[in-house]
Amino acid sequence: MPADTGSGSASSAATGATGYTIAELLTKISTLIGWSSPDSAQNTRMYQAITSCALAASTWKGSEWSWLRDTGTVTTADGTASYALRTTISDLWAVERAYYDDDWPLAPVSWRDYQEWYTLVRPTAGTNQPSGYVVRGEPPYIHLQPVPASAYTINIDYIKRHGTVNGSAADSVLIVPREFQEGIYVDAAVWMLRSELTESFSLTECPPFMETIGRMVASSPMKYDQDPEDMYPDTRTGFLPPNRRFMGGLIENAEGY
């Protein structure tokens, strides 16, 4: 049993039904490696291997994994134009869109245009309900135009980044779907440790990792707004792409069918 299982074990009751807990990963990996009583350095190596495999999977060739998408909110304050997004959306990596509701989107503007507007207007107080936005920086900030004159709730559709797995992380950081966790969090991590590798690009040589990535690609749902030509049914046969699920249903194309 690992000597240091971290605080993740505290939430195992909530997450165990949906996948591994961090403590369970450490126990399984250490058993497979042959570390009967891992010390602090070995625990750190396991954390690093799990994190490397997780980051490699979540960013693999720009794949648009459905499990990396979520929606959060930002609440504005009178007279404040810029907001640190990770203050309220801690796992945000990139913003896809900002909107009040589906029929009321905010328009993205360039950073240059925003700067020119801000320099020209030099707002000192809130003036209206924002209609445009730009996201910039790391950590990312959302800058609103015009400056909010009141408290407005803005919805943010965003892409997550897989968090770091360590002794202080909660089990909820393990966001890879449970049907793929064995290949990513266990088999690939064990392979890295046995190979004494640390760079995630080396996982192209790891058969369990590549097999799991293949299954993830095959089972990943298409988004209805991706708009590839074969997203639309054939008018004569009603053909749809085989073996793919759809997120959000289908939309009509330009011809109306």
Which residue, chain included where needed, has tokens 């289908």? Answer: 250
Q: Provide the residue ranges of all domains of the chain, joining segments of one domain with +.
A: 7-63+166-219, 66-160
pLDDT digits (tens, 9 = 90+) for 175-204: 999 999 999 999 999 999 999 887 788 899
Tell me how many helices (H) and strands (E) the chain has: 8, 10
Q: 119: number of CA atoms within 13 Å, CB side? A: 6
Q: 173: number of CA atoms within 13 Å, CB side? A: 24
Which pLDDT band holds residue 223 (cuts at 50, 70, 90)? low
Taking phi over 0 as left and psi of -120 to 50 as alpha, with beta for the rest, 122 belongs to: left
Closest CA to 65 of 52, 51, 54: 54
Helix, strand, or coil (residue 107): strand
Q: What pLDDT score was predicted for residue 24?
A: 96
Taking phi over 0 as left and psi of -120 to 50 as alpha, with beta for the rest, 141 belongs to: beta
Closest CA to 178 of 24, 3, 10, 8: 24
Which pLDDT band holds residue 68 (cuts at 50, 70, 90)? very high
82 Cβ contact partners less than 8 Å away, ≥ 6 residues apart: 141, 142, 143, 144
The per-residue pLDDT of the chain, averaged, comes to: 83
Q: What is the pTM of this model?
A: 0.74
Degrees, nearest 5: CA angle 244-245-248 = 140
Q: What pLDDT score was predicted for residue 219?
A: 87
